[in-house]
Amino acid sequence: MTDNEKWRFPSNQNSTLVGINDAGIETFTANLNQSLVREVIQNSLDAAVDDTKPVLVEFSRFDIPQNEFPDLDNFRNAIIKCRKSNDDDPNAVQFFKNAEQILDRKSISVLRISDYNTRGLEGSDTCAKGTSWSRLVKESGSSNKGQGSGGSFGIGKSAAFACSDLRTVFYSSMDIRNLKSDFGVAKLVSFKDDNDEWTTGTGFYSENTNFVAIRGKLASFDHNYTRDRPGTDIYVMGMHEKDFKAEFIKAVLMEFLVSINSGKLVVKIQDDVIDSDKISKYIYDLQESDSKNKEISALSNYYDLITSSKSTVKKIKLDSNEYGKEFGFKDGECTLYLKEGNGLNRKILITRKAGMRILEKNRISGSIEFTGVLIMEGDNMNEAFKRMEVPSHDAFEPGRVRGEESKYRKILTEFYKYLKHNVNELFGKVTTNIVDAYGASDFLPDETVDTSNGENMKENALSTGIRNIEVKKTRPVHNKSIPIDVDEKTGSSNSEDISRKKSESEGENSSQGSRKSGTGHKAPGHDKVFTKAKASQRIICKDVINGEYILNMFVPVSSAIGKLEFDLSGEQTDYELPLAKVNIVKGDAKIKSFYDNNLYLSNLKKGQKLTIEFQISFKGYCMMEVDYYYAN
């Protein structure tokens, strides 16, 4: 360090004050380790020099003596001023008290993140706006991503600061012209300096007030490491966690399975090297350490899917005539891998060109057990979906493309239809005449959490798999859906009580006749002719013991009065499921009346979302049908 190299915190010229809750940093605080791995590796993949060779990203933690922290006394004074100038903010006070304690220790924890086969931070000689050096080190809301890259928002660089208990990061780089540079950034809070002026909240470790790169040198915090070829080193000062290895390995496997398997990426975490040859071992070890974890089980299935040569795995290259031609997509711009099997998660992992996981698309089929992986490889498709990608890189939102929302909504809607069509085409029957309105996923979850007891209700969800077989003797009931249980030891039943209920019901509804009367029939008590219509719907079991369920559906046809019929579906015939309680949780429809297995509603509008809680007089799992009728 020269005499000119020191920490400088510029004045804000009496303008905006910056507090402790930096929006970019706070984005990543919920899951520090996973966010850091995800964002840093994605940046490195985007800066690859030679696509025929893998990008290497290395994570290494070590300690430095306290006196090796650059310009320690000046930095400590800034931390103290941050605390005193913000003593009205408890969060700020707590953070900077902890930072003071870290700086007072004999050693400070540092995480080094290094990448290779990358371009390094180009532009360190001029530090001009728009260069990769300026975008990463000094600019806000900018990134150096090109077409097909993982993102274009520039907030990912904040993940490193989120993992620093000092909110301080050093950047050291050798670019492809072998130019070396070094620079430090501290994202603190505004504080009053020695001139009683408020600072911007950001400090720079530099040679002068121009805040340009320190040229011609590389940081030397890690004495066991020397950079000998182009790439970038990021030093996270005051690393939040020391025992991060297991979490980093898991994050790498979960987020970059496709990148590693395809040979685009190699990751070294301390002494562990994860590449295409060893990835299966790490996935196996992960399963062994947490065999009941469903995410890890799904990861293993995804890996088997993209590496298997079995005929049961279907590999589908995009035919633009089926999807994408109208949007400018070409044949082969994506590849879809699918397989069917008991217990599979019914999701499709979606990645773009770089191979990072974007999302796991669910709500494709409620009856087919399958899993899938889709990899976008073409430039046109990557560019379109990149524009819809949210800053956290975990969802697509057409509304982000201002002025072209309708176009991109269609791109996304047709894309999801394409996925559903292929699953149904391969493993099931294609469903027709079903309203599949955009946004249905807002209320059709694959897994529903019962907030009353905190337990996952997926255990009660209807499934095509057989868990166990329990033998019971029952008497079939063709006219009513009230089950008759027979005690196998005594032979007694509840038939007397059922006969009484049946007689009362038949006396009241003697004109009803056969329940399955098809379309164009009148219902008792309602002088209307009802016509059957197919409705997009999903039934979720809330409490199997008490017969409580949730029905989510879209109204397919507008009508002043509509009817829902609830039935137990069987191979030979259907039995009615009498309703005990009904409540509309979501939607503008109103309950007119209900009796037996019929629910009459009013104020029904096409496309309306309905969520209905109901209780039936049936205990145990069952295959249920709900038919929708509207009044002519």
| Per-residue confidence (pLDDT) for residue 265, from 0 to 100 | 97
Check residues 329 and 445 and name the one with the higher pLDDT.
329
Look at residue 4 and tell me whether its pLDDT is greater than 60.
Answer: yes
Give the number of residues written for the chain. Answer: 632
pLDDT in tens, 335-362: 999 999 988 999 999 998 888 999 999 9
| Per-residue confidence (pLDDT) for residue 36, from 0 to 100 | 93
Tell me whether strands 55-65 and 265-269 are parallel, antiparallel or unpaired.
Answer: parallel
pLDDT in tens, 589-624: 999 988 888 999 999 988 888 999 999 877 667 778
Compute the average pLDDT of residues 87-116. Answer: 96
pLDDT in tens, 103-149: 999 999 999 999 999 999 999 999 998 888 988 888 876 554 444 44
Contact status, residue 229 vs residue 10, Cβ threshold 8 Å: no
Compute the average pLDDT of residues 145-170. Answer: 73
pLDDT in tens, 470-520: 544 444 333 333 333 333 333 333 333 333 333 333 333 333 333 333 334
Extents of the domains making up the chain: 6-242, 285-431, 460-509+520-631
Q: How many CA atoms lie within 13 A of 612 on its CB side?
A: 26
3-state secondary structure of 142: coil
Residue 83 CA to residue 89 CA, distance in Å, equals 9
Residues 6+ apart with CB under 8 A from 91: 20, 21
Average pLDDT, the chain: 82
Compute the average pLDDT of residues 83-99. Answer: 95
| Per-residue confidence (pLDDT) for residue 239, from 0 to 100 | 95
pLDDT in tens, 62-71: 999 999 999 9
The tokens describing 508, both together, are 């009241």
Residue 572 CA to residue 476 CA, distance in Å, equals 12
Q: Cα dist. 621→153, 315, 465 in Å?
A: 48, 35, 12
Contact status, residue 61 vs residue 270, Cβ threshold 8 Å: yes
Least trusted range by pLDDT, from 325-329, 414-418, 432-436, 491-495: 491-495
Residue with tokens 């890690």: 222
Residue 37 CA to residue 50 CA, distance in Å, equals 22
Compute the average pLDDT of residues 171-188. Answer: 95
- What are the φ/ψ torsions at residue 39 (nearest 5 degrees)? -75, -40
| Per-residue confidence (pLDDT) for residue 511, from 0 to 100 | 32
Burial class (CB within 10 angstroms; exposed 0-12, middle 13-18, buried 19+) of 13:
exposed
pLDDT in tens, 531-572: 888 888 888 888 877 888 899 898 988 888 999 998 876 644
Residue with tokens 């998660």: 345
Contact status, residue 163 vs residue 236, Cβ threshold 8 Å: yes
pLDDT in tens, 443-453: 454 444 444 44
Residue with tokens 């294609």: 430
Residue 46 CA to residue 479 CA, distance in Å, equals 66
Smallest Cα–Cα separation from 589: which of 574, 575, 572, 606?
606
| Per-residue confidence (pLDDT) for residue 154, from 0 to 100 | 60
Contact status, residue 537 vs residue 554, Cβ threshold 8 Å: yes
Check residues 433 and 317 and name the one with the higher pLDDT.
317
Residue 397 CA to residue 358 CA, distance in Å, equals 12
- What are the φ/ψ torsions at residue 287 (nearest 5 degrees)? -65, -40
Residue 534 CA to residue 557 CA, distance in Å, equals 9
Contact status, residue 371 vs residue 339, Cβ threshold 8 Å: yes
3-state secondary structure of 284: helix
- What are the φ/ψ torsions at residue 615 (nearest 5 degrees)? -125, 135
Helix segments in 290-368, DSSP class H = 294-307
Residue 197 CA to residue 12 CA, distance in Å, equals 8
| Per-residue confidence (pLDDT) for residue 135, from 0 to 100 | 87
Residue 349 CA to residue 337 CA, distance in Å, equals 10
Burial class (CB within 10 angstroms; exposed 0-12, middle 13-18, buried 19+) of 399:
exposed
Residue with tokens 């696509």: 51
Look at residue 152 and tell me whether its pLDDT is greater than 80.
Answer: no
| Per-residue confidence (pLDDT) for residue 291, from 0 to 100 | 79
Contact status, residue 375 vs residue 334, Cβ threshold 8 Å: yes
Q: Which residues lie across from 182 on neighbouring strands? A: 172, 214
Contact status, residue 155 vs residue 208, Cβ threshold 8 Å: no
pTM above 0.75, yes or no: no
Residue 452 CA to residue 583 CA, distance in Å, equals 17
Interior angle at CA 261, CA 258 and CA 264, nearest 5: 80
Smallest Cα–Cα separation from 273: which of 58, 129, 99?
58
pLDDT band at 397; cut points 50, 70, 90: very high
Residue 201 CA to residue 188 CA, distance in Å, equals 5
Check residues 16 and 576 and name the one with the higher pLDDT.
16
Look at residue 454 and tell me whether its pLDDT is greater than 80.
Answer: no
| Per-residue confidence (pLDDT) for residue 480, from 0 to 100 | 36
Q: Which residues lie across from 59 on neighbouring strands? A: 113, 269
Compute the average pLDDT of residues 145-166. Answer: 68
Residue with tokens 């891998």: 337
Residue 92 CA to residue 79 CA, distance in Å, equals 11
Check residues 397 and 454 and name the one with the higher pLDDT.
397
What is the C-alpha end-to-end distance of the chain, expressed in Å?
85
Residue 515 CA to residue 602 CA, distance in Å, equals 22
577-607 burial, b at 16+ Cβ within 10 Å, e below that, comes to bbbeebebeebebeeeebebbbbbbebbeee
DSSP codes joined into one string, 214-234 = EET------TT----SSEEEE
| Per-residue confidence (pLDDT) for residue 137, from 0 to 100 | 87
Residues 6+ apart with CB under 8 A from 169: 160, 161, 184, 185, 234, 235, 236, 237
Smallest Cα–Cα separation from 38: which of 95, 113, 109?
113
Tell me whether strands 265-269 and 272-274 are parallel, antiparallel or unpaired.
Answer: antiparallel
| Percentage with pLDDT > 90 across the chain | 54
Residue 272 CA to residue 230 CA, distance in Å, equals 22
